[in-house]
């Protein structure tokens, strides 16, 4: 644990204590996992049928159903996510099977994504290991030293319309169709088999609903789910008081408790997002299944000291653009204008 936390008067986790606590909640329950599959996939499938019937009457009748299906698609992704961590079921085979199935439904290659996401967990909050499974974030100094083209590209990437609407659709529909160059054979074949399964699924639904209807419904559902999912991921690591450190000062437990948010959502949104708002607990121990995250959070005062972010207060995160390494805080572009103003005053 680094000393910066203690100097701020923040809670300094007892390493042995939190490890013993989280171990109690790392036990998957087959009945809870099975019930979550039932109460997620069956309504999701039913919504697809209802969307098709509604679309034959009116697009506007199908739109609210697509929004609801998008919410269920987020929950489908959480199942795949937990399977990737090996936490959803005790059986690795069961995790891999259901992880692949739910991955196909969310256009996500299971093994390839699992590999990338594991890197995210091992580097989250580390300024020297950015760039894998995270949102592009520059420090103030890096931005100031960037070329005009790189600054333009960064501003474009951080634009809310690009970041939360266009980028999610691109990631899930296009980017996930191609393996990374450094991916292993298993990860590469995960992409290929997922692509084939998606083709079969899309072909079957196009035959049943009609190609135009299927594409319209899939784009609507995927856009809503992708936007919601990226927003969740964004708020989980881009919020007021977030932790970022250089590698030599970086600490795993501190990065989890201070670099991952406790996103306190209304109960219905907590259900659809599979308790992922308890992200500080998830980063402490990815082996805790989503259905045990809240109980683990309630198990010790240490975890409850993490300041919650509410749905309303989370919108402030959309104003953050850069990491101010000197003051250890996220700032917006207005901060750059203040720096330029200060520089002019000093030059007089």
> Per-residue pLDDT tens for 66-76?
999 999 999 99
> Per-residue pLDDT tens for 111-139?
999 999 999 999 999 999 998 888 999 99
Helix 59-84 crosses helix 30-55 at what angle (to 10 degrees)?
Answer: 160
Tokens of residue 258, six digits: 């201070």
Q: Give the confidence band of 17 by pLDDT, cuts at 50, 70, 90.
A: confident
Please state the rounded mean pLDDT for residues 15-39: 89
DSSP state of 262: E
Predicted local confidence at residue 14, as pLDDT: 55
Predicted local confidence at residue 348, as pLDDT: 59
Which residues, in sequence order, are CB contacts of 35 under 8 Å at separation 6+? none
Contacts 24+ apart (CB under 8 A), 10-13: 10/258, 11/257, 11/302, 11/305, 13/253, 13/254, 13/257, 13/302
Query: Is 141's pLDDT higher than 60?
Result: yes
> Per-residue pLDDT tens for 144-177?
999 999 999 999 999 999 999 999 999 999 999 9
Q: DSSP secondary structure string, 103-155?
A: HHHTT--HHHHHHHHHHHHHHTTBGGG-SSSS---EEHHHHHTS-HHHHHHHH
Please state the rounded mean pLDDT for residues 41-63: 96
Coil, helix or strand for 79? helix
Pairing of β 329-331 and β 322-324: antiparallel
> Per-residue pLDDT tens for 207-222?
999 999 999 999 999 9
> Per-residue pLDDT tens for 239-269?
999 999 999 999 998 899 899 999 999 999 9
């Amino acid at each position: 644990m680094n000393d910066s936390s203690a100097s701020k008067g923040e809670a300094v986790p007892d390493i042995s204590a939190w490890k013993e606590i989280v171990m109690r909640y790392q036990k998957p329950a087959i009945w809870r996992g099975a019930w979550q599959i039932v109460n997620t996939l069956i309504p999701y499938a039913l919504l697809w049928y209802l969307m098709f019937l509604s679309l034959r009457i009116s697009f506007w009748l199908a739109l609210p159903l697509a929004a609801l299906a998008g919410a269920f698609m987020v929950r489908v992704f959480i199942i795949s996510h937990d399977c990737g961590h090996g936490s959803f079921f005790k059986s690795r085979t069961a995790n891999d099977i259901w992880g692949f199935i739910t991955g196909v439904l969310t256009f996500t290659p299971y093994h390839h994504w699992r590999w990338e996401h594991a890197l995210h967990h091992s580097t989250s909050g580390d300024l020297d290991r950015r760039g894998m499974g995270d949102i592009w974030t520059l420090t103030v100094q890096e931005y100031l030293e960037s070329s005009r083209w790189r600054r333009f590209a960064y501003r474009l990437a951080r634009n809310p319309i690009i970041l939360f609407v266009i980028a999610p659709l691109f990631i899930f529909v296009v980017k996930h169709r191609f393996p990374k160059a450094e991916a292993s054979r298993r990860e590469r074949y995960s992409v290929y088999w997922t692509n084939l399964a998606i083709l079969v699924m899309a072909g079957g639904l196009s035959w049943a609903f009609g190609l135009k209807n299927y594409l319209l419904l899939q784009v609507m559902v995927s856009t809503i789910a992708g936007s919601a999912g990226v927003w969740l991921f964004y708020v989980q690591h881009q919020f007021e008081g977030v932790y970022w450190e250089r590698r030599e000062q970086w600490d795993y437990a501190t990065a989890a408790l201070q670099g991952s948010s406790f996103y306190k959502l209304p109960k219905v949104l907590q259900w659809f997002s599979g308790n992922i708002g308890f992200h500080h607990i998830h980063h402490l121990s990815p082996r805790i299944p989503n259905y045990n995250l809240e109980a683990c959070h309630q198990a010790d005062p240490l975890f409850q000291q993490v300041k919650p972010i509410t749905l309303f207060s989370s919108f402030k995160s959309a104003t953050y653009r850069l990491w101010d390494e000197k003051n250890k805080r996220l700032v917006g572009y207005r901060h750059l204008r203040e720096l330029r103003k200060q520089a002019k005053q000093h030059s007089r």
